[in-house]
Amino acid sequence: MVQVNISGIMRKTEDSPTVFEVEAKNIRQLLVNLEKHYPEMKPHLDKGVAVSVDGTIYRDNWFQSIQPDSEVYLVPRLAGG
Amino acid sequence: MTHSSDFNAEKASNLKVIGTRPARPDGVDKVTGRARFGADMNLPGQLVGRILRSPHPHAIIKSIDTSAAEALDGVKAVVTRDDFAENPDNHAVLCNVMAREKALYEGHTVAAVAASTATIARKALKLINVDYEPLPHVTDVDAAMQPDAPVLHDTIFTSGVDPVPTIPSNIVARCEFGHGDVEAGFAKADIIVERELKTAATHQGYIEPHACVASVSTDGMSELWCCTQGHFDDRKICAALLGIDVSRLRVTASEIGGGFGGKTTVFIEPVALALSRKAGRPVKIVMSREEVFKASGPTASTSMRVKIGVTNDGRMTACDGEFRLQGGAFEGSPFDSAAMTAFACYDLENVKSVAFDVVVNRPKGAAYRAPGAPMSVYGVESVVDEVALKIGMDPIEFRLKNAVRDGSQSSYGPKFGPNGLVETLEAAKAHPQYKTPLGPNQGRGIASGFWFNYGGETCSNLNINADGTVTLAVGTPDIGGSRASMCMMAAEELGIPYDSVRATVVDTGALGFNEGSYGSRVTYASGLAIINAAQQAITEMCKRASMMWDIPADAVTWEDGYAKPSGANAGEFEPMSLAEIAAIAANTGGPIAGHREHNADSAGISFGTHIVDTEVDPETGRVDVLRYTVIQDAGKAIHPDYVEGQFQGGAVQGIGWALNEEYIYGDDGKLQNAGFLDYRVPVASDLPMIDTVIVEVPNPGHPYGVRGVGETGIVPPLAAVANSVSAAAGVRLSELPMSPPRVLKAMDDAKQAAE
Amino acid sequence: MSGTHVSTTINGDAVEYVCDVEETLLDVLRNRLGLTGAKEGCSTGDCGACSVTVDGRLTCSCLMLAVEAEGHEIGTIEGVANGSELHPIQQKILDHAALQCGVCTPGVVVAVKALLEKNPDPTETEVRYWLAGNLCRCTGYDKIIRAVMDAASEMRGS
């Protein structure tokens, strides 16, 4: 199981959970399983998120591997000016 | 072949071309006036396009009658909202490009004409009859958040809160980042400082107004020439808004006269295409400076609350911030990056950072250099300065005590890797400016700042020419000398002179998709693609040499521009130069090239620290910048001149933001200073030299260690200048810009309070 | 529409054109004569991107009507280099990397050339005030000022 930390717009109330657990070996599985097990996340996932794996932020790379002990955060999709 | 982007310490310490300062390949054209910018393109039979803009900050558009304009001699086409189909995927951009039910800000495009001359086009605009029903408006971010504020969109129900509101408002979204327990952290603090601060909206201020020429043929084949930071992005959005295939639209990026984020989206381009399609002739549109101010994409104004708790020995125990950003009339202010970057310099046990995205009756914001970060960092670094002062600690020592290092958890979640914040602080402490005594009415300010940097979708081609020279095809517009750095990286890898390599920014027909020149990504992402493309070409050249020598390809190595047998066992052969291999390419398998397509994800984060000395005139409140030093981690500077240039340019834009620049709205909701005279960007006589120190802590995700450098330079200066002015004036200012009247009033108020 | 006929000299060459009375010199240079080196950044005389010389005097071509060029000598960026030989200020701007996007550069070159013809040995402060009418948003001016000082020094032969 991978521990997924959420932040930003997905963190809706002071006491809402910030860590979710899903089975995932890569980013695609992570997103698919989050949507399956936590359907309330679907609107945010549909709009687009980036995934930070061990400190590197991936915007689109579905097949980036994730280890069971990887540090995983869902973060906004940012680019810059 | 596989491509590695891992840092290669041996390679990075043996670079020959990287780190030198050659002249840029486009330099002569730029100093002689030969370079062609957006407005310098003309096509045969071209018409002049002009835009009718809303005089109202907020109004229902009841009807638009274009019949009189269409009847005017010389008018070839008029377009309105009726010429653009609804497009749910790109609704906000569509509505911004051409107003639909409502005009949402003064300057919002309502109609456009194409005519044979500018005079006729201007006349035609006056003949378009628009029936408006003016509505109440709001331009201030705090006012727009009030429950009784005029609501711009009845479709906005704040997201990021639970439960979702049942009534619409101007608050698009709330976001929250952080960890720990800030209340528990504040309970441990010896001193707590909490401040409300504000920053004004500013404009990127590129000197070249938006300009484009569009030509749509009767068979639907379309061409667009424009000044843009991302012509592939423009193609995507224009094709979508016009309902044409991407393959039928070819976009060519002209030379670009500055962008800073403001040319990452479209304004006039879809309008020119629609006019050209209707008129059957090419159409050129060039914005006036007034249009640039009123109807392109400035950045957000903000209001914020920042609270920081510290122990007497200088350890931060809790940080809490709330940041409210208006992004103009549509969602999309950089609220999330403001929240994420606010406390990013500090290693914190307890931090909470909340931000709101708010809509108001102002032009739709666009990106501006490290979007969101300069404002929130201004708030945080101002309060950091104040707490350090309160506990009597040197501001650099205070920052060093709390700075993030390799492995620190960031304030927005993920752990940071190797980074150069501490190195920039140490360099600041050691810099002569930091030790120079100050005179009366003078003050010194310090601030640090952070930006993520970005990579993204990129492809580049490298072609070996028969004469031994090399041409590069790059898909990211050259906004500040990147063709030079591309040539340097190719020359470095291939082992040939810099002058043998030439780079071209090619049109959208010549390469696969490239994201634009934003996010400090060009030297990193396009450059990495060039490095990889060179490596691919080297593999092929080694193969060609092996054919000549009749030995296995893997028995050939590449060294300093030559293919060589890899060792005694491989055989004794005279090394073959790149030029020798290129000359016989036709006989050994055909042209030799390398290419690389990637989604670059390992852009290194970047930190900077700025030192600024100012003097405040107690009579007038005028601030003089006496001395300024930028210290920033570049990972590895490819062309140090242009790295310094990015540092200096960012710092000066930040100085303007701190001291002069602001969007001033009247009660009528109209912009009062839509010109350079009244908006007042910094001019040469406002400034001293801008000293620079390039720190190089390698990015582990790049073979040379490159980090993006374009954006971080604008993050610290707002706060650095504010801290300096506060020290010089003897009173803390909490609103930008620190214009003379504001500084004078703060000093007078402080004097009166003391009496 | 009846235009006005104008005879003038541009970069040493006799030039004739017909223009509308409302057209600026910048409009005519760019749109009728194909001299697009001068840029329109503001059309209000604030940015200096359209700098030319009129009888040697630095002028914003966006603030001058095209008909006013009658009988005068106009100098534009296209006439600054001597054939393929760059003017020292052009070379020094390249040497110092004193440009990023380059859109202000033609105006800066024209302005600096005019300065150094009047004042071959300007102080840094004099250069900064002379160039206060030439906005550059990319460089923060640092490298431009250094390039100007270096060009002035070289032209003085020191």
Instruction: Write the pLDDT tens digit of every residue in B212-271.
Output: 999 999 998 999 999 999 999 999 999 999 999 999 999 999 999 999 999 999 999 999
B461 shares a domain with B587: yes
Average pLDDT, chain A: 93
- Answer yes or no: are the C-beta atoms of B432 and B497 closer than 8 Å: no
Looking up tokens 């002015």 gives B725
Q: Does residue C11 come out as left (phi exceeding 0), alpha (psi in the -120 to 50 range) or beta?
A: left
Chains that touch C (3 or more CB pairs under 8 A): B
B557 shares a domain with B435: no
Using a CB-CB cut-off of 8 Å, the residues of chain B touching C103 are 37, 206-208, 255-258
Using a CB-CB cut-off of 8 Å, the residues of chain B touching A5 are 413
In a domain, B309, yes or no: no
Q: Is the pLDDT of residue B482 over 80?
A: yes
pLDDT band at C158 (very low <50, low <70, confident <90, very high): low
Using a CB-CB cut-off of 8 Å, the residues of chain C touching B288 are 43
Using a CB-CB cut-off of 8 Å, the residues of chain C touching B684 are 127-129, 131-132, 134, 136, 141, 144-145
How close A80 comes to chain B (CA, Å)? 4
Q: Following DSSP, what letter does each residue of B292-335 receive, concatenated?
A: HHHHS----EEEEEEEEEE-TTS-EEEEEEEEEEE-TTSS--SH
pLDDT band at B1 (very low <50, low <70, confident <90, very high): low
Domain range holding B556?
A: 9-35+455-600
Domain edge (last residue) among B563, B578, B600: B600
Using a CB-CB cut-off of 8 Å, the residues of chain B touching A76 are 175, 336-337, 340
The pLDDT of B702-712, averaged and rounded, is 97
B43 shares a domain with B31: no
Q: Each residue of B625-657: pLDDT tens digit?
A: 999 999 999 999 999 999 999 999 999 999 999
Q: What percent of chain B lies above the pLDDT cut of 70?
A: 100
List the one residue out of B479, B507, B483 whose CA is nearest residue B264: B479
Q: Each residue of B531-570: pLDDT tens digit?
A: 999 999 999 999 999 999 999 999 999 999 999 999 888 8
In a domain, B399, yes or no: no
B694 shares a domain with B591: no
B672 shares a domain with B718: yes
B645 shares a domain with B582: no
Q: Each residue of B14-30: pLDDT tens digit?
A: 999 999 999 999 999 99
ipTM rounded to 2 decimals: 0.98
The pLDDT of B511-520, averaged and rounded, is 97
CATH number for the domain harbouring residue B530: 3.30.365.10
Q: Each residue of A22-50: pLDDT tens digit?
A: 999 999 999 999 999 999 899 999 999 99
Domain edge (last residue) among B262, B295, B328: B295
How close A2 comes to chain B (CA, Å)? 15
What's the confidence (pLDDT) of residue B4? Answer: 80
Average pLDDT, chain B: 97
Domains annotated for chain C, with CATH where assigned, are 4-79 (3.10.20.30), 88-155 (1.10.150.120)
CATH number for the domain harbouring residue B78: 3.90.1170.50
Long-range contacts of B232-235 (CB under 8 A, 24+ apart): B232/B475, B232/B508, B232/B513, B232/B514, B232/B515, B232/B516, B233/B264, B233/B265, B233/B515, B233/B516, B234/B266, B234/B269, B235/B508
Q: Between β-strands B47-53 and B283-286, what pairing exists: parallel, antiparallel or unpaired? A: parallel
The domain total for chain B is 3
Looking up tokens 């028995």 gives B555
Which residues of chain A approach chain B closer than 8 Å at the C-beta? 5, 7-13, 16, 43, 52, 54-61, 64, 71, 73, 75-76, 78-81
Up-side HSE of residue B262: CA atoms within 13 Å toward CB? 26
Q: Each residue of B327-371: pLDDT tens digit?
A: 999 999 999 999 999 999 999 999 999 999 999 999 999 999 999
pLDDT band at C1 (very low <50, low <70, confident <90, very high): low
Of B175, B414, B454, the CB nearest to A80: B454
End-to-end CA distance of chain A: 37
* Token duo for residue B403: 């700075």
In a domain, B52, yes or no: yes
Instruction: Note whether C42 contacts B675, CB cutoff 8 Å.
Output: yes
pLDDT band at A15 (very low <50, low <70, confident <90, very high): confident
CA B40 to chain centre: 24
C35 → chain B, closest CA residue: B33
Q: Cβ of C69 under 8 Å from any chain B Cβ?
A: no
Cis geometry, peptide bond prior to residue B737 (ω within 30 degrees of 0): yes
Of B336, B414, B711, the CB nearest to A81: B711
The CA distance from A2 to A30, in Å, is 8
Domain edge (last residue) among B244, B266, B295: B295
Any idea what the Cα angle at residue C107 is, between residues C106 and C111, rounded to 5°? Answer: 120
B714 shares a domain with B596: no
- Burial (0-12, 13-18, 19+ Cβ within 10 Å), B73: exposed
For chain A, counts of helices (H) and of strands (E): 2, 5
The pLDDT of B702-709, averaged and rounded, is 97
Q: Is the pLDDT of residue B529 over 90?
A: yes
B/e letters for C83-101, b = 16+ CB within 10 Å, e = fewer, are eeebbbbbbbbbbbbbbbb
* Token duo for residue A41: 């996340």
Domains annotated for chain A, with CATH where assigned, are 2-75 (3.10.20.30)
Using a CB-CB cut-off of 8 Å, the residues of chain C touching B689 are 142, 145-146
What's the confidence (pLDDT) of residue C65? Answer: 98
In a domain, B703, yes or no: yes
B486 shares a domain with B474: yes
In a domain, B163, yes or no: no
Instruction: Note whether A79 contacts B599, CB cutoff 8 Å.
Output: no
Instruction: Note whether C143 contacts B687, CB cutoff 8 Å.
Output: no
The pLDDT of B454-465, averaged and rounded, is 97
In the stretch 4-63 of chain C, residues with CB closer than 8 A to chain B read 20, 22, 30, 35-44, 46-47, 49
Instruction: Note whether A80 contacts B340, CB cutoff 8 Å.
Output: no
| Residue in C137, C139, C145, C149 to test binding to B, most B beta-carbons within 10 Å | C137
B653 shares a domain with B586: no
B613 shares a domain with B595: no
Q: Is the pLDDT of residue C128 over 90?
A: yes
Provide the 10 A C-beta neighbour count for residue B183: 11
Which residues lie below 8 Å from residue B286, measured CB to CB, with a gap of 6+? B38, B39, B209, B210, B211, C40
B132 shares a domain with B264: yes
B726 shares a domain with B635: yes
List the one residue out of B609, B615, B618, B752 whose CA is nearest residue B693: B609
- Answer yes or no: are the C-beta atoms of C135 and C49 closer than 8 Å: yes
Q: Each residue of B266-295: pLDDT tens digit?
A: 999 999 999 999 999 999 999 999 999 999
Q: Each residue of B566-589: pLDDT tens digit?
A: 988 888 999 999 999 999 999 999
Output the furthest CA–CA distance in chain A (Å, rounded): 37
Q: Each residue of B657-679: pLDDT tens digit?
A: 999 999 999 999 999 999 999 99
